Amino acid sequence: MELDFKQLALAIKTIAEEKNLPEAVVQEAVEQALAAAYRRDYGDREQEIRVTMNLNTGEVDAYVTKEVVERVGDDAYEISVADAQVMKKNAAKGDMIEIHEKVSSFGRVAAQTAKQVILQRLREAEREIVMNEYEDKIGTVINATVSRVEGNICRIDLGKAQGIMPRSEQIQGERYYPGQRIKVYLKDVERGFRGPQLVVSRGNKEFIEWLFRGEVPEMESGAVEIKGIAREAGVRSKIAVASSVPGVDPVGTFVGGHGTRVNAVVSEVGEQEKIDIIVWADNPIDYITQALSPTKVSKVILDEANKKARIVVPEDQLSIAIGKSGQNVRLASKLTGYELDIEAERLTQDNAAEVAPAAEAAPVAPSAPVHDDTAPSSHGVIETTTLPKQPKLKKKSDLENSLLEAIEEHGE
């Protein structure tokens, strides 16, 4: 099996077109492979050899670098001064000179070696091109297709490259299947042993922000912006928004008419994920109060030094403030950057005294009006009044009898 150079030249051009690789890159890979094959058939493994190939004619030329010496010890690496001066008149001892060799063919083993080197170099070149192309797309959302699902890892086809979406980057409860078209956020491009590894995500908070960018054109002009996002993918997200233009409602802008904008985002991430949009505030107390929405907050006690806050809420709002499995307070803490401690509002003894008499006044009032100015009370006088006693309604038979009597009297 000899290597046909003319067929190889044609194959180089075909590969360059199919792989979308520059022809010069493919040619360089082939020339390196031919240099390795030349060493195997005609030279030594450690020789410095350069090979060039004419893609039009298929001609291959090899250039072997040798050192000029007075007495040749190893003709694979050295050449005498007299022989060197035949090729180059001013050649002197210690110079490095390239000797041209015409290559007509390679043996079977050398051809196989060349093939392996070519494939390896082409893979490396393709990976470098992928790296250069997708490095510019880091931090953007890309349309992709699910290639296959392997346990907790989802393989994503990005067009010219393959990406992976680990379980930690997936939306909780979302199911993927081969051929499914989805949007993914390109998180990072990692250089690995097997080439560049593209890591994509649907579960990070940046994915939500990019989806809103596509739905809210006011973000591009700077009229509104997202100040912070706290997300538990597939469950709930809290988004703090602000407006730089007076009179523009930031929450309404993100929600859209009849909720069209926020619903478009929800339809992409899944109906099971709830999105809370709140107004960002520069004042930490106001910001924390907004972040705990829809909870009604009674009091916020701030510890700025330790980034902690104690939140007092009415007792009936405690479960709402904490949320299912502590979800609401956890997201609010991530959003504001404060460690939040929720407490129920406790009634003081004075409050209890105010409530108690009102509770005693609840039973049915006495039959006669009561007004007792002498009753001792530290909180004023409680007055209760009853309405006059209403006459009972007559039965149907009584009404009929009285009607007959009235007719008889009128007749007389």
To 10 degrees, what angle do helices 205-215 and 260-269 make? Answer: 140
Q: What are phi and psi of 14, to 5 degrees?
A: -65, -45
Average pLDDT of the segment spanning 348-371: 38
Spatial distance between the Cα atoms of 72 and 206, rounded to a whole number of angstroms: 68
Average pLDDT of the segment spanning 65-74: 84
Same fold across 5-132 and 138-201: no
> What are the C-alpha distances in Å from 276 to residues 224, 228, 231, 314, 334?
16, 12, 10, 21, 14
In three-state secondary structure terms, 51 is strand
Average pLDDT of the segment spanning 384-393: 41
The distance of Cα 341 from the centroid of its chain, to the nearest Å, equals 29
In a 13 Å sphere around the CA of 208, the CA atoms on its Cβ side amount to 30
Q: What is the pLDDT of residue 14?
A: 81
Average pLDDT of the segment spanning 67-94: 83
Strand partners, 96: 67
CB-based burial label for 321 (10 Å; 0-12, 13-18, 19+): buried
Looking at the predicted structure, is the pLDDT value of residue 386 above 60?
no
In a 13 Å sphere around the CA of 175, the CA atoms on its Cβ side amount to 1
> Looking at per-residue confidence, does 186 or 98 come out higher?
186
Q: What's domain 283-353's architecture?
A: 2-Layer Sandwich (3.30)
Q: What is the pLDDT of residue 398?
A: 63
Q: Cβ distance 92 to 81 under 8 Å?
A: yes
> What are the C-alpha distances in Å from 365 to residues 11, 101, 355, 379, 397?
105, 122, 18, 20, 34
Four-CA torsion 404, 410, 411, 412, nearest 10 degrees: 110
Q: What's domain 5-132's architecture?
A: 2-Layer Sandwich (3.30)
Tens digit of each residue's pLDDT (9 = 90 or more) over 103-161 = 777 777 767 777 777 777 777 777 777 777 888 889 999 999 999 999 889 999 988 78
CATH number for domain 138-201, candidates 3.40.50.970, 2.40.50.140, 3.30.1490.20, 3.30.365.10: 2.40.50.140
Measured at the alpha carbon of residue 279, what is the angle toward residues 294 and 342, in degrees to the nearest 5? 40
Q: What is the pLDDT of residue 132?
A: 79
Measured at the alpha carbon of residue 282, what is the angle toward residues 276 and 285, in degrees to the nearest 5? 75
Q: Does the 214-280 domain belong in CATH 3.30.300.20?
A: yes
98-120: burial string, b at 16+ Cβ within 10 Å, e else: eeeeebeebeeebbebbeebbee
- Listed by start position, the domains of the chain span 5-132, 138-201, 214-280, 283-353
Looking at the predicted structure, is the pLDDT value of residue 362 above 60?
no
Q: Give the gyration radius of the chain's Cα atoms.
A: 43
pTM of this structure: 0.62
Q: pLDDT class for 92, splitting at 50, 70, 90?
A: confident
Q: What is the pLDDT of residue 127?
A: 78
Tens digit of each residue's pLDDT (9 = 90 or more) over 230-256 = 999 999 999 999 999 999 999 999 999
